[in-house]
Amino acid sequence: MDWNIMIERAWESREHAYAPYSSFAVGAAVESSDGGIFGGCNVENLSFGLTMCAERVAIASAIAAGGKSMRRVVVVADTRTPVSPCGACRQVMAEFGVQEILLCNRSEQILFRLDELLPRSSAGILDR
């Protein structure tokens, strides 16, 4: 499957962003290993630390629908430079086997491997 379906889903999901505090709407889409596509948007809270990023909302949606692992993630925002996932989202992507992440704004797309964005994501953890 090409990236375009995922990119479209991410922009659609962004329309649902709940971002009254930052006014910064983000959309995401993930592809699960069985080919399902799941969207997500950021969901903010008055208690700022409870905010959920679009990427993690999309991943949680895929898991809730029975997905076991994910190959690809698209992130979109209307920014000058394509938006980059936060560290927490990178770690959650690693948890579920994401390999490629496409970062998009209205005019530009940058493709990364997860190991470029988060090297050694699980090295040594619980390894006693």
Residues near ligand THU (CB under 6 A) are: 19, 22, 24, 26, 42, 44, 51, 53-55, 75, 83, 85-86
- Of the pair 31, 44, the CB lying nearest ligand THU is at 44
Q: Which two tokens stand for residue 62?
A: 């895929």
Q: What is the dihedral of CA 36, 41, 45, 51, to 10 degrees?
A: 70
- Of the pair 47, 127, the CB lying nearest ligand THU is at 47
**Could you tell me the smallest distance in angstroms from the CB atom of residue 127 to ligand THU?**
29
Q: Which two tokens stand for residue 69?
A: 């692992």
- Residue of 8, 31, 44, 55 marked catalytic: 55
Q: Are strands 70-77 and 100-104 parallel, antiparallel or unpaired?
A: parallel
**Could you tell me the smallest distance in angstroms from the CB atom of residue 19 to ligand THU?**
5
Query: Exposed/middle/buried for 87, CB within 10 Å: 0-12, 13-18, 19+?
Result: exposed
**Could you tell me the smallest distance in angstroms from the CB atom of residue 105 to ligand THU?**
12
Q: Which two tokens stand for residue 71?
A: 């190959």
Number of alpha carbons in the 13 Å side-chain half-sphere of residue 95 = 12
- 116 flagged as catalytic: no
Per the DSSP assignment, residues forming a β-bridge with 73 are: 30, 101
Kindly list the catalytic residues.
Answer: 55
